[in-house]
Each structure stands twice: as structure tokens, then as C-alpha cells.
Amino acid sequence: MKKLILGLSAICLISFTSCKENAAKKIDEDNLAQAAERDAVASKFPVIEFDKTEHDFGEIEAKTAVETVFSYKNTGEAPLVITDIKSSCGCTVPKDWSREPLAPGDTGQFTVKFNGSGTNKVSKTVTVTANTEKGTETVRITAFVKPDPNKTAATAVQKN
């Protein structure tokens, strides 16, 4: 026990005596200017602004594929990079977006294809993952899917 206390005392004594230099004197003005510039740039984010955040396909027949295009603009102060676009289910497929950085003021677009599955009012969310301040942005598609007339006729025949 005495050895442990003696060892800890020695470590504390060494650590207190080795830090006698003034840390403020070690700051290099060039490094300080570079750090300030880096921090100023790091606080500038791209901002993605969509032409529409929701698209309604209206009434569609069941199993009828439809698609729409979402256009967007980088209204921020830094290049916009979209890393991924995913939908809330497999029946909605986002495609054709650029993975290249989009300069401030430039525009881009992506297509969303919906295969017409489901019945009645259907709403699907598409999540855009990008280097914006929030990190993700969402757009939505909606449709009213009318029942498949062939399926309705087959069900009526089975009931009789």
C-alpha cells in the first residue's frame, strides 16, 4: 500500500512540475489565422431547395407505374453533395440523381417511380441524404390507387 501511495505521489509531482511553460506563448499566429478561416468555411452549408416537396399523382389504376421528377437548387454557400436517396418502401424507386458536387446556385433533379401498389389513398416518403445542415431532406408522393378491376371480378366469381 505504501508503494502505491508513493508511486501516485511521484506521478503527481512529475505532472505538476513539467507543465511550467505558458501555453499561450506556444500559439502560432499563422495557425490561428488558418483555424479561423477553416471554421468560417465549415459553418457554411449547402441548402437544398425543391421546386415541390409533394407530388400527387391523382387517381391511378392499380399496378400502373407512374413517375415524377423532383427538381432542386443549391441555395447555400457550399457545394451540395447528395450521397443517397431512399424511399419508405420498395414500391417507390428514386433514380437518376447526380453524385457529383452541385455548386451554389446550380440545379439538379431526380426521378421517383411508383409502381401503383396499394389501395385507396397511398402516401410514400423519399429521403434525400446530403451534406446539408440537417443531413436529410424529405419529399413525398401521394396517389389514390383504384382497385384492380380484374382482381375485383375474380373475387366476385369466387364468392358465387
pTM: 0.67
The stretch 47-57 carries a mean pLDDT of 94
The stretch 134-141 carries a mean pLDDT of 93
User: Is the confidence at residue 153, as pLDDT, over 60?
Assistant: no
User: Is the confidence at residue 55, as pLDDT, over 80?
Assistant: yes
pLDDT, residue 130, reads 93
User: Is the confidence at residue 152, as pLDDT, over 70?
Assistant: no
Q: CA–CA separation, 72 vs 52, rounded Å? A: 8
Using one digit for the tens of pLDDT, what is the confidence trace for 78-93?
A: 999 999 999 988 888 9
pLDDT, residue 157, reads 47
Average pLDDT in the chain: 83
Q: CA–CA separation, 55 vs 104, rounded Å? A: 25
